[in-house]
Structures are given as structure tokens and as C-alpha cells.
Structure 1
Amino acid sequence: MNDASAARCPMHDNIDRRKSAKIAAENTHPDPGSHWVQGGEMARSILRNKQAVQAGAGAESLTYDNPEHAPVFFLNGEDHFNKRRKTQRFLSPKAVTEQHYKIMEKITGELLGKFRQQGQAKLEDISFQLAIEVVGEILGLTESDQAARARRIQRVLYASIASHKPGLAGKLLNLKRAFHTGVFFLFDVRPAIQARRKAPREDAISFYLDEGYSNLSIVIECLTYGTAGMLTTREFIVMAAWYLFENAELRERFLGGDMKEQMAILMEILRLEPVAAKVQRRVHEEVSGLGDKPLPAGELYGIDIRAANIDEAIVGECPFALDPERAKRVRDTGRYLSFSDGPHNCPGWQVALHETRIFLAELFRLPGLRLEREPDISWNPSLGSYELRNAEISCDPA
């Protein structure tokens, strides 16, 4: 980058420092037969298309007798709208501020209190426990031992997202899934169902019972929201903390900022380091803009979220600069494609960002906080996302 372009950059620095860029580039590719979309405007157009339906992750191969009891991720059209409208009350801005803030603050205090007593920990362990407890409270999974519940949830989530295997290995994987799902139901979901039948609360399981969901449907809902709200949030918390550890100026700005400032910083980090690398849609109408001729209806499109998030057409100049003022300057919400877009955008995005914000704001105020070891980066092919492990942190013991 030359001096002239540096002078035009709002942050005076357009160096690509993305930590997950290399491993994502090596592992993110279009599926066979799909059209690869990397431009931001085109990606938004497809994601917002009313004739686009969810694809990928088995969405097109699954059918349900009762759409009301199917995970919202796999629904489309009116079924998707109705299901999302009903469950949105647990994830709305009002629910976040009036109900979930207290949960996030309480759990953050408990986890950081334990960390201060020990003086050292792995950040991904703390962030996963936070994500499990926050989503667990929203769902209503509160009637079992906390530590054991975390272990069971991790086992069942990783078994449920594991890639399909042929032959004997596939049969063994199905048995493993069934076993861990059964244990999860027996020790965590069933006690929650029994408790909510006696005394309903303002949580998802109480709602599912009111709607007549079967036990199996409730387990599926818990796993769906668990994958979205626990696994991905854990990774983002570690990634955002990594940025704050190594950039003192950014860290001070985050700690000194109000809620809007903190959210802007987190969304900029997420723009550069989106956990999910791609999403897929099948569009049941002609699509123009990807070639000389319109593509026919029914084609499959892969959306490269990472490429779209650095497209100057939607994010403005100097796309590699971490600029909290960017969204305001380009008149955007700051979400870009980090939480997808259109009808199937992530319904729990505010929960994820606010629990990250609340946790990091308290973590970085601990005396003597240090990053003793930077995390290792690996790739989860089932989720199509990076994973961060062995981030060792320490603080002055209480």
C-alpha cells in the first residue's frame, strides 16, 4: 500500500491482519454444482430474494410432518415466518435487555470469580461455559448439574454435526449420536420438561410445551439453538479477546466506550473474522448479475461471507482496517453478512454480541490479566468455521 492510499484510509492502515484468513482460504470452497458468490451486493441480493430457500447442512433433504415442530433453520416461506415470529420473543432486543442481560451478568460474574480464584484458565473453556449457560437459560435447560451439563452438551453437539461417513463408520457414528442424544435428554432435557410442566417460565421449553411439541422435537430445538448459540459464540469470544489483548489502543477504546461503541468494535472484528465462512441458497427464479446471461431458476448458490465482508462496494474503503466508525460512514448496521442476511439471518445475533460484550468488558478489567499463550487455529469442516484452542490466560489471584 502506498502513502497516498494510506492517507485516504480512515484508520491510516489497510494491512490484512485477519488471523483466520489463511486457514479459511484453504478450506472454504463452493460445493460442486453451485455458483460461487463473493461480491457483497450480489450476495445480499440472493440472500434477500423471496424465492431463495435454505440449502446446505442437509436442509434440502429433510422433511417434517408438522412444520411447527421443525427447527426454524430448515423451514422456508410461510412456515419459516410463522415459526420465527413465535420464537423471536426469546431473542428480541426487548428480551435481551429486560431478561437476558441479568443472566449474562450473573454468569459472567460467577465464571470470572472462579477464574480469579484459580489465577489461570483456558479462555475457550470459560467462553464455552458462558455460551452454554446463557443459551441454556433462554431454552430452559436449568435443572441439571452445571459442569456435567456442559460436558454432555459438548459431546452431543459435536456428535450431531460430525460429517456423514459411509459403511460401518457411519453406523457407528449414528450409534454415537443416538447415545449422546439419549443421555442429553435423560439428564438435561427431561428434568427441564418436568419442571416446566409444573411451573412454566418465560423460556423456550415452556413455550414448546404450550405448543404441544413432542420430546423429540424439543431435543431437536435445543440442539439447533445449541449449535448456533454455543459453538459459534465460543469461537467469537476468543477471537475478539485475542484482538483486544494485542491492541492496547483498541482495548482502551472498548473499555472506555459505551454500549454502542463496544458493539461497533465487536461487529468490526466479526466482519473481519466471521465464524461461519459460507451459507448456501437455492433460488427458484432467474438470477442476473453473475454472467453474461441470467441463470435459470432452481440453481444453487454458495455465498462467500468472508469475501463479501471485505468488498468495498458494501463496506467502504480500506476493508482490512478495523474501523468502528465504518458502519456509520457507509450507513450500514455494521452486521454486513456476518450473521447472514435476508429471512434466514441469525435470529440470535444480538444475544451473541451482547454476551460477548458483557463478558469481555468484565474480563479486561481484572487486575493483572495476561494472555499467556495465543490460541491455536484449526478448522471444523462440519460447521465450515474456524476453531480457537489452548488460549491460556492468567490474572492476579483474588
Structure 2
Amino acid sequence: MTTVELPADAMDPTRDDRKSAKIAAGRVRPEPGAREVGGFGLGREVLRSGQMLQAGVSGDRFSPEDRFCPVFFLDGERHKKARTAIARYFTPKAINTHHRLVMERTTERLLGRLRATGTARLDELSYELAVAVAAEIIGLTGSDQATMAGRIEASLFATRVGSRNKAVRFGVGLVSALHAGRFYLRDVRPAIRARRAERRDDVISHLIDESYPDRAILVECMTYAVAGMVTTREFIVMAAWHLFEDDALRARFVAADAADQTAILEEILRLEPVAAMLHRRAERDVAFTGAVAAAGDVLAINIRAANVDPAAVGACPHALDPDRGTKQKQVGSFLSFGDGSHRCPGAQVAMAESRIFLDGLFAVPGIRLERAPDLTWFDGLGSYELRHAVIACTPAPTAD
């Protein structure tokens, strides 16, 4: 499919470039009892409010009073302190001086394998990349990454099985605990032992310095793994799908500098956010612009709806316009990474690894999409999944 690039003032108002909109329309919904927020302005206001606490995503399993409560479920000063302590792993300096090397080396290895065989599954390549980058940041570098990736995937089993039957839930819980145990024994525990013997500049070393017990380190590792590996895999495939099927957009991406490539990727993410809903609970009565949340109320910010709110994103909100963020004087991804104190700390890492991989991918001779991905929905994470996308290229010549 070839898309003719239209001048901004002549963009077709009926144009809709979203690939996941149809499936999301029937699956995105707030948790029971939550009130949905769809506008960008109110959604951002809620996410930035210090009186709105983290909610949803099984947060009731953790007590904020616990000294080792995962940072994802903290709020207020404790959250600020914990986020500040780990921020150094996600800064532009960390990306440029350390993480970039992992991104480039892994990309070179993966694309070399693609050229050697002439074909590959894109979701498998993107997952290997995401695992390598996240593992380096977390400190899970001592075990085989391919088998570790499978164990992380298996640990999400409970989120894929929804049932109100107590016996079913109990069985699912046992299976999930088994997978988590394997992840701990084969990946996390060896990493903890290695870091106790010799610290490195990674999250596990930091947690050891903070006297975290092994169980708490396991929970943090699983949280970072899902956030840094699973979601990035989906986005890389989605971005590649858009670029493969839009000749003009791909040509612009290939010719662009890093800043413009990032703008293109952020606009794709605006249209296709991996996370669809974010939930916040009112600590006390809170007044927003045009809305009020009573103490205990849970608000569900619909990221997909907020990201196509014309009041914030401008005309033709469903059309892919890489210059939109600049024109609207907004962060190009809008609310795709959240906002406020809980904005995704790894946003810049995810964008950098996606850009580096896709820049390399589209430089491969003869690169083409032979099979578009299967698009399904993962209710447990509230996100789309893309599988079985097949790419092919001109095979590298072999030595006689």
C-alpha cells in the first residue's frame, strides 16, 4: 500500500491510519467501578495530580506501608525518592554512553542473522532486542537470554486467564507461582549472587545497596521486565508495520536524522499506544477543571481516546502526521507513556532502541514485509499483541 503524503492543510479529515483501533474499540474498558476519562486535558490533569494515587494493575496486592513496596505502586515522597534513585539508568546520558552500545550490538547481531537466512519473524527479533536492553539495565545478564525471555513470557500466564471460579483462579495462581519461581532460580538469584560479590551499574545492584530482600528484588525484576521487554516488542512491530506499508513515511524515516525519526515513531505511538488505560484513585476530594473526584473514586484515563482528542492534537486526529507534536507544542507521544510522577521512566530507552533497530532494519538490502502480523488483544495488560509478522531480505552472499 502506498500512501500519498498530503499537505497539512489539505489532510483528509476522514483519514484513519490506526491499525489497532477496531480491536481496541471492543476491548478497552475501565476496571469495575472506575469512571472513564477520555479527554486529553482532564486526563493529563488527573495524572499530574498529587492527590491521585496509583490504582489498577493488581496494586491491591502491595501495601505502600511495606518498606520494599515496588516503586510502581508507591506515591508521594517515597515514590519521588525511589524514582530519583533509579533515574540515572534511563537518562539520555546513560543511553548514549552505555545502553546504545547494547542496542547497536544486538541490532547488528539480529540483522546479521536475518541476512544469513533471508527471512525472520519480526516479533521474535524485536523481543530479543528488548530483552537484551532491559536485561542490561536491570542486571539480568548472567543467564541465557533466549530461555529467560521464555520464562518471563510464561510468568504472564495468570494475566491471560480470567475467571471468577475460585478453583480456576487457585490453579492459575499455582502455575504462575511456578513460572515466577523458575525465573527467580534461573535468572534473578544468580544475578543477585553475582552483584553481591561485585556491584555493577544496574538496578539489581542498587536494590542490594538498599537492602532489598531477594523476594522484593524478584518483584521489581518482573515489573521492569514486563515494562521494558513485552511492551517494547509490540511497539517495534507496530512501527515497522506502518513503515512497511507507507512508502512516503518509510522514505522520510530512512532519510531522516535521529530527531525526525523519533518524531515519526512518537506519532505512530500516539495513534497506537501499547497501554490503553491508566487508573488513579482519589486520596481525598479533588477538584479538576470541569470535574470533581470524591475521596476513593477511581478514574480510568483512556489513553487511546485522549491521544486523539482534537482539542489537544489538532485537526485530523486519526491521521499519522509526524509534525503534529511540533505544531501542537506537545510531547509527540502525548499520553502514551503516561504523565506526571508515574510517567514511564524508560520512555527514552524504548524510543532509542526502537529507532536504532528500525533504522538498521530498513537499511537491509531488499527488506520487505512478506506477512503482516496477526493482531490480537491481551486483556491482562490491556494492550494489543502482534505476532507472526514475517520479513524477508536479499540473503547475504555465502563464502565458497
When the two structures are superposed, what TM-score results if normalisation uses the length of structure 1? 0.93
| Equivalence for 1:16 | 16
More displaced 10-residue stretch of structure 1: 236-245 or 167-176: 167-176
- What's the CA shift string for 1:311-369, capped at 9, x where partnerless? 11111122122111111111112121001111111111111111000000001111111
Residues 36 and 302 in structure 1, CA contact (< 8 A), matched pair in contact too: yes
| 11-20 or 345-354: bigger deviation | 11-20
Q: Give structure 1 regions of 4+ aligned residues with deviation exceeding 4 angstroms.
A: 10-14, 159-165, 288-291
Which residue in the other structure is 1:142 paired with?
A: 141
Deviates more, 1:264-273 or 1:114-123: 114-123
RMSD across aligned C-alpha pairs, in angstroms?
Answer: 1.8
For 2:322, the equivalent position in structure 1 comes to 324
Residues 12 and 274 from structure 1, CA distance in 2 versus in 1: closer, same or farther, beyond 3 angstroms?
same
Deviations 1:218-246, CA, capped at 9 Å, x for gaps: 11111001111111111000000000000
SS of aligned partner of 2:305? helix
Please show how residues 108-119 of structure 1 align to structure 2 within 5 Å.
Answer: 108-119=107-118
Alignment of 1:1-398 (within 5 A): 9=9, 11=11, 14-63=14-63, 66-67=66-67, 69-159=68-158, 163=162, 166-283=165-282, 284-289=284-289, 294-398=292-396
Distance, in Å, in 1 between the alignment partners of 2:160 and 2:225 is 11
Q: AA paired with 1:388?
A: L
Supply the distance in 1 between the matched residues of 2:317 and 2:278 (Cα, whole angstroms).
21
CA contact (8 A) 2:13 2:315 kept: no
Question: What is the number of equivalent residue pairs in this alignment?
Answer: 390
SS of equivalent to 2:200 = coil
Assess, with a 3 A threshold, how the Cα gap between structure 1 residues 65 and 261 changes in structure 2: closer, same or farther. Answer: same
Distance 1:61 1:217 in 2: 13
Cα distance, 1:139 vs. partner? Answer: 0.6
In 2: Cα distance, 1:164 partner to 1:55 partner = 21
Change (3 A) 1:81 1:52: same
In 2, the alpha carbon distance for the partners of 1:185 and 1:165 equals 28
- The residue identity in structure 1 corresponding to 2:279 is Q
Kindly provide the CA deviation profile for residues 111-130 of structure 1, in whole angstroms up to 9, marking residues without a partner as x.
Answer: 11112112111111111111
Shift of 1:185: 1.2
Identity value in percent: 48
Would the alpha carbon gap of residues 52 and 248 (structure 1) be closer, same or farther in structure 2, given more than 3 Å must change?
Answer: same
Q: What letter corresponds to residue 351 of structure 2 in structure 1?
A: L
Give the letter for the 1:52 counterpart: M
Q: Specify every segment of 5 or more residues in structure 1 that has no aligned partner in the other structure, as ranges.
A: 1-5
Indicate conservation of the 8 Å contact 1:11/1:322, yes or no: no
Tell me, in whole angstroms, the C-alpha distance in 2 between the residues paired with 1:12 and 1:272: 16
Distance 1:165 1:174, change over 3 A: farther
- Aligned residue identity for 1:125: E
CA contact (8 A) 1:10 1:323 kept: no
Q: Is the 2:62–2:69 contact (alpha carbons within 8 Å) kept by the matching residues of 1?
A: no
Distance 1:159 1:238 in 2: 24
In structure 2, stretches of 5+ residues that fail to align are 1-5
Following superposition, the deviation at residue 147 of structure 1 comes to: 2.1
- The 2-side partners of 1:131 and 1:302 are apart by 28
How many Å separate the matches in 1 of 2:180 and 2:378? 21
CA deviation after TM superposition for structure 1 residue 376, in Å: 1.0
Q: Secondary structure at the match of 2:395?
A: coil
Q: Secondary structure of 1:303's partner?
A: strand
What secondary structure is seen at the aligned counterpart in 2 of 1:133? helix
Q: How far apart are residue 60 of structure 1 and its match? A: 3.7
For 1:3, the equivalent position in structure 2 comes to none
Amino acid at match of 2:285: E
C-alpha displacement of 1:91: 1.1
SS of the aligned residue for 1:287 comes to: strand
Q: In structure 1, what is the Cα distance between the partners aligned to 2:30 and 2:185?
A: 39
